[in-house]
């Protein structure tokens, strides 16, 4: 056997990938690390607690993930990061290798230059060479443990700085307490408290183990050598905001020092339990294990497409699987929104729930790709409700930060119930939804009394986002009504279905737009092109919010003077290039007034299907796929937002999208892949084939489902779960044949 053939077989066997495909090689974590994406490039595990990534000490909005591609310095490597959010937080337990000390007390290495030519990133391992100290850094993870490998030059003063006061986003949050304990010359532990951050209160515990004995420690309070002053468990760094330690080693040339860091939200004891999942000291074995784990998820969709589409697709799938984060400890304990420790009834507890973003496409994607995780995600929301008094709005590190508007746990839960997921208590789910939607919650920006009394949120007393809140709450009410109907709760159904129509109360026939209205019923004077964080539209303008009626597009169409007027308004949304005013950072990725860089626009291109003009959806979807996503660091036109931006790409590239993400219906578009095979559970697969597909052949001439002509402009979730084959016949010219009303997407 030839040596090259043997190597290929060994490679295939080592990763156990069907057809020899290592899907992590198709992922480029640098996509989105540019100006708008706010993602991090470091190593993580699917839905894991640890995100081990470089930090650059960037201040302000551009540094939400701790890293931005246009910077060429690193201050260290911390263990927790947010993927693509518009607000920064985390950055826990920063570590930085260096050589030499500057004093007898403490040395914080500060910023170190690096070049992207000496940096590599994949889902399972991150590498960078730091030329000034001449240290090669490699990082990988298990779900709860970060593993560092530092290759040092020969030195009597090889050091690792441990910084307990660093945090992402200096604009807020403070370290109220920190502690570092030396247990012996290879084991260290401690914690830090972070208050007044995005997550209101966090305590991060850690245990650090090294593969090599530490000879010396320098700190703010002195210089200590193990053989003279330190014995097991006698040195304890006091509680202080100044906790900053250096572990000193003696190294030979190219010696690898490995550190394993386990974290916990509960206690040092739990961190000690968590570290047990990282057995041994072979760094490459950890990388291989993490690689296999990522491949087990990424391989659930096998696509055939041109190289650019393939890279964007698998990078998008990877981004969508970074969060929600599994925050339950190895023994099922978790830190809850009441700031107490609880035991998970299911053994799992997911947090980092950016629901205003992810309810739209990321959670529907999970129901297709990782269905076994969905019940645990849903039960995590119900456990959050149990300890918080209402369902999560934006959950971070087990706590509630109340970011964004409405409560979009509701559609996520309703979607899971109607898709038939087991191990979810439906009555308990409905009770949580009803309570959430009918009580006033100060922190959730929600006033049920006002909404019910006026039939809309009033512009003069709501405190901003009155139009957006009305529209999004109406959608949630529709979701609640469907579940009430399923459970035979007729009075509740009537109550919620009535409120679901409140969007009609803000349709201004003068402008054919959703418009702010005061308590007295009078329209507010407003500029339709204006964005304002304190204005009536959340992270958008009036143009984008015309179409925010995901649950009832047909009644929205009827509000216009005519079908033709509605079509014209939608056309204008994509063609009007009038400058958008105001200072909202998130309104990016513009096609006319459509802003793909932010979530309120994400369903709009699919609205043409409800108007009987699917060819316009097909054209726009392919335009968005081709122009709003690239393989460059600036390859995301807006914040990744915990998987939503990428989930839009993944689903749209497959050829469908959940316009209403709670009714089990996907609207057909224009697939960017030539073929895809989805593992949908129970040994079944669902295949998508696009014949004659190309960058020019963007229109759908015909479709088939399981070999039979298919005239509908939608497909149901059950069609996918049952397995089968959806075929698109592509062409370069729009097919404008009359679409029958019977073939238009249903409401449920």
pLDDT score recorded for residue 449: 80
Alpha carbons 506 and 516: distance in angstroms, whole number:
7
pLDDT score recorded for residue 154: 96
Sheet holding 665-668, edge to edge: 656-657, 665-668, 714-716
The parts of the chain modelled with pLDDT lower than 70 are 1-20, 101-109, 170, 220-242, 441-446, 738-742
Say if residue 79 is exposed, middle or buried (CB neighbours under 10 Å; 0-12, 13-18, 19+).
Answer: buried
Q: Which domains does the chain have, with CATH numbers?
A: 3-296 (2.70.98.10), 302-328+602-748 (3.30.2080.10)
Sheet holding 126-130, edge to edge: 119-121, 126-130, 135-141, 145-152, 255-264, 201-210, 187-195, 174-184, 236-237
pTM for the whole thing? Answer: 0.95
Q: What's the pLDDT tens digit per position in 614-656?
A: 999 999 999 999 999 999 999 999 999 999 999 999 999 999 9
pLDDT score recorded for residue 345: 87
pLDDT score recorded for residue 238: 45
pLDDT score recorded for residue 1: 35
Contacts of 561 (CB under 8 A, 6+ apart): 509, 512
Q: How far is CA 177 from CA 76, 192, 287, 346, in A?
A: 21, 6, 34, 32
pLDDT score recorded for residue 422: 93
Structure tokens at 270: 């739990």
Structure tokens at 640: 């990744």
Alpha carbons 581 and 376: distance in angstroms, whole number:
42
Pure H helices in 246-346: 268-274, 283-298, 307-320
Angle, CA 428 vertex, CA 422 and CA 432 arms, to 5°? 120
pLDDT score recorded for residue 585: 85
pLDDT score recorded for residue 738: 65
Q: How far is CA 73 from CA 82, 101, 162, 501, in A?
A: 20, 20, 18, 53
pLDDT score recorded for residue 688: 98
pLDDT score recorded for residue 744: 81
Contact 690, 668 (CB under 8 A): no
pLDDT score recorded for residue 169: 81
pLDDT score recorded for residue 183: 87
Closest CA relative to residue 175, chosen from 89, 86, 50: 89
Structure tokens at 386: 């149990």
pLDDT score recorded for residue 173: 79
pLDDT score recorded for residue 14: 32
Alpha carbons 55 and 73: distance in angstroms, whole number:
9
Among all chains, which residue has been given the structure tokens 């690390």? 33
Q: How would you classify the pairing of strands 684-691 and 724-731?
A: parallel
DSSP, res 701: E
Q: Could you report how far apart the first and last alpha carbons of the chain are, in Å?
A: 59
């Amino acid at each position: 056997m030839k040596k090259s053939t043997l190597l290929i077989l060994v490679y295939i066997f080592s990763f156990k990938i069907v057809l020899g495909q290592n899907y992590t090689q198709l992922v480029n974590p640098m996509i989105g690390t540019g100006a708008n994406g706010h993602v991090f490039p470091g190593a993580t595990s699917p839905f894991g607690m640890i995100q081990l990534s470089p930090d650059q000490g960037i201040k302000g909005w551009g540094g939400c993930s701790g890293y931005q591609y246009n910077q060429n310095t690193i201050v260290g490597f911390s263990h927790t990061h947010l993927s693509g959010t518009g607000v920064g937080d985390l950055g826990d337990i920063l570590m930085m290798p260096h050589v030499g000390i500057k004093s007898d007390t403490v040395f914080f290495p500060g910023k170190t230059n690096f070049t992207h030519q000496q940096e590599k990133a994949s889902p399972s391992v991150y590498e960078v060479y730091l030329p000034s100290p001449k240290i090669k850094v490699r990082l990988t993870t298990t779900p709860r443990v970060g593993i560092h490998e530092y290759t040092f030059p020969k030195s009597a003063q090889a050091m690792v700085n441990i910084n307990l006061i660093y945090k992402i986003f200096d604009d807020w949050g403070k370290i109220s307490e920190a502690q570092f304990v030396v247990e012996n010359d290879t084991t260290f532990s401690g914690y830090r408290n972070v208050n007044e951050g995005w997550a209101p209160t966090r305590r991060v515990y850690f245990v650090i183990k090294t593969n090599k004995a530490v000879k010396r420690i320098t700190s703010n309070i002195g210089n200590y050598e193990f053989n003279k002053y330190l014995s097991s468990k006698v040195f304890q760094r006091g509680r202080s905001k100044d906790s900053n330690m250096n572990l000193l080693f003696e190294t030979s040339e190219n010696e690898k020092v490995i550190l394993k860091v386990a974290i916990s939200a509960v206690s040092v004891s739990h961190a000690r339990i968590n570290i047990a999942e990282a057995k041994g000291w072979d760094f490459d074995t950890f990388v291989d294990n993490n690689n296999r784990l990522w491949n087990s998820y990424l391989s659930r969709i096998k696509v055939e497409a041109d190289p650019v589409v393939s890279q964007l697709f698998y990078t998008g799938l990877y981004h969508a699987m970074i969060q929600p984060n599994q925050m339950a400890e190895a023994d099922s304990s978790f830190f809850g929104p009441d700031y107490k420790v609880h035991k998970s009834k299911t053994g799992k507890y997911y947090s980092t729930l950016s629901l205003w973003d992810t309810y739209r496409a990321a959670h529907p994607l999970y129901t297709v790709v990782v269905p076994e995780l969905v019940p645990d995600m849903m039960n995590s929301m119900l456990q959050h409700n149990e300890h918080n008094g209402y369902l999560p709005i934006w959950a971070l590190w087990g706590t509630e930060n109340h970011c964004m508007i409405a409560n979009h746990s509701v559609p996520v839960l309703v979607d899971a119930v109607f898709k038939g997921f087991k191990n979810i208590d439906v009555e308990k789910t409905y009770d949580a939804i009803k309570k959430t939607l009918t009580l006033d919650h100060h922190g959730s920006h929600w006033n049920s009394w006002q909404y019910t009394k006026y039939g809309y949120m009033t512009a003069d007393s709501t405190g901003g986002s009155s139009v957006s809140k009305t529209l999004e709450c109406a959608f949630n009410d529709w979701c609640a009504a469907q579940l009430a109907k399923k459970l035979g709760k007729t009075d509740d159904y009537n109550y919620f279905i009535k409120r679901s129509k409140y969007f009609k109360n803000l349709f201004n026939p003068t402008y054919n737009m959703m418009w702010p209205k005061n308590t007295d019923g009078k329209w507010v004077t407003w500029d339709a092109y204006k964005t304002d964080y304190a204005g009536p539209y959340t992270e958008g303008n009036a143009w984008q919010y015309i179409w925010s009626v995901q649950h009832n597009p047909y009644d929205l169409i009827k509000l216009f003077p005519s079908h033709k007027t509605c079509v014209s308004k939608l056309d204008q949304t994509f063609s009007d290039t009038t400058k958008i005013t105001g200072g909202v950072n998130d309104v990016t990725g513009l096609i006319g007034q459509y802003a793909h860089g932010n979530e309120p626009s994400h369903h709009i291109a699919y609205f043409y299907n409800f108007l009987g003009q699917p060819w316009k959806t097909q054209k726009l979807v392919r335009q968005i796929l081709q122009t709003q996503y690239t393989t460059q660091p600036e390859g995301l036109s807006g914040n990744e937002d915990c998987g939503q931006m990428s989930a839009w790409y993944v689903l749209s590239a497959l050829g469908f999208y959940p316009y209403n993400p709670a009714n089990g219906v996907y609207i057909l578009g224009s697939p960017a892949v030539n073929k895809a095979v989805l593992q949908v559970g129970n040994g079944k697969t669902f295949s998508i084939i696009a014949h004659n597909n190309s960058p020019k052949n963007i229109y759908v001439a015909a479709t088939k489902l399981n070999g039979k002509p298919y005239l509908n402009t939608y497909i149901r979730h059950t069609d996918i779960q049952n397995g089968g084959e959806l075929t698109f016949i592509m062409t370069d010219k729009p097919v404008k044949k009359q679409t029958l009303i019977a073939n238009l997407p249903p409401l449920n």
